[in-house]
């Protein structure tokens, strides 16, 4: 008889506490948001030139896009060749990187590309790279 009496006494409702679970999920969410590296691409469509030696750029960079018409875009701002040095200098000062990646359209004249690269160097960029699409081998 004692056995049956004991079984009935232990039958209580289960109390499930989900607050620690919510805390853990919240901390994981914060960790993933902080540790995610966001890639900043240009807002214009560019047909990049191809290269078999293209390599991935690691870390942050200031994107400078040159479209087929000759318009130059530094981040979200469209600038001309005269104001390019100041725009790149401001973008470098506002960020945590000193690297600039020039993203030219494949039909951009070489002279314009070199002028843009010179302006980026004059703005204080530690390295100026040209973006390309990796082809083949």
pLDDT single digits (tens) 29-86: 998 888 876 655 555 555 566 555 666 666 778 888 888 888 888 878 888 888 888 8
For the chain, domains (ranges, CATH) are 2-35 (no CATH), 50-134 (3.30.420)
Contact 24, 107 (CB under 8 A): no
The DSSP bridge pattern shows strands 72-74 and 62-66 to be antiparallel
pLDDT single digits (tens) 14-37: 778 888 889 999 999 998 888 876
């Amino acid at each position: 008889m004692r056995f049956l009496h004991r079984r009935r006494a232990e039958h209580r409702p289960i109390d499930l506490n989900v607050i620690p679970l919510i805390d853990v999920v919240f901390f994981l969410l914060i960790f993933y948001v902080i540790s995610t590296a966001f890639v900043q691409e240009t807002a214009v469509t560019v047909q990049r030139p191809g290269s078999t030696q293209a390599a991935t750029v690691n870390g942050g960079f200031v994107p400078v896009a040159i479209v087929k018409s000759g318009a130059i875009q530094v981040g979200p701002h469209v600038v001309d060749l005269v104001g390019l040095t100041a725009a790149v200098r401001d973008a470098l000062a506002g960020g945590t990187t000193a690297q600039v990646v020039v993203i030219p359209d494949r039909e951009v004249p070489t002279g314009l590309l070199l002028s843009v690269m010179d302006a980026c160097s004059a703005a204080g960029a530690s390295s100026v790279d040209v973006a390309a699409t990796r082809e083949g081998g």
